[in-house]
Amino acid sequence: MPHDLTELARIGRVLEEAHSLLEADRKRLEEQYGPTPYTDITAGSPTQTLHGIASLSNAMSQTLKWLALAAGYSVLGLDRRADHALEMAQMKPVAFPSGADRMARPLGDATVRAMEMVRDLGFFDEEIAIAVDVALAAPQATYPPADWSAHAAERQRRAQFE
């Protein structure tokens, strides 16, 4: 199926801007925290915050690559490949917005703006928008949990209602 290249370009520009904002915040946080021990697994710690921002940025980068591939295949008239690449681009990004769950609060302005841009883009399933709102509203980092047993029990309890 032919794709609307103008729309793909609009989406790509938004994803690129979000990625740039996340990268700017990643660099700011690296400068702020400096070298951190990689053994600190406390939610909101410098290590987890840096891991979270890198995850957010990488998720946007990967999505943008799939989108660019879809546009390129579409230009070449390789519609089946374009469809597949677009499906991959629209899949829930592995670490977006969950990377924010690792990060200390308050989140940086650039991170918040990037998350809002992706939420408002309308490119992903509605569940992404909801997850972004939840992540932005969280008063503190929530991952990794302090008590893994309680975390597992809560996940199991929630699964019963789905």
For the chain, 162 residues long, give each residue's pLDDT as a single digit of tens: 567 999 999 999 999 999 999 999 999 999 998 876 667 788 999 999 999 999 999 999 999 999 999 999 999 999 999 999 999 999 988 899 999 999 999 999 999 999 999 999 999 999 999 999 999 999 999 988 777 677 677 777 777 776
List Cβ neighbours of 1 (8 Å cut-off, separation of 6 or more): 79, 83
- Residue 36, pLDDT score: 67
| CA 12 to each of CA 83, 110, 125: distance values in angstroms, whole numbers, following the listed order | 16, 18, 17
Would the CA dihedral through 54, 59, 65, 71 be positive or negative? negative
Extract the tokens encoding 61. 């980068």
Q: How many CA atoms lie within 13 A of 140 on its CB side?
A: 7
Q: How many CB atoms lie within 10 A of CB 13?
A: 11
pLDDT at 127: 92
Residues 6+ apart with CB under 8 A from 88: 66
pLDDT at 148: 67
Cα distances from 100 to residues 30, 32, 87, 158, in angstroms, run 16, 17, 24, 21
What domain range includes position 125? 5-161
Q: How many Cα neighbours within 13 Å face the side chain of 92?
A: 13
Domain count for the chain:
1
Tokens 């918040």 sit at which residue?
A: 112
pLDDT at 38: 67
pTM value?
A: 0.87
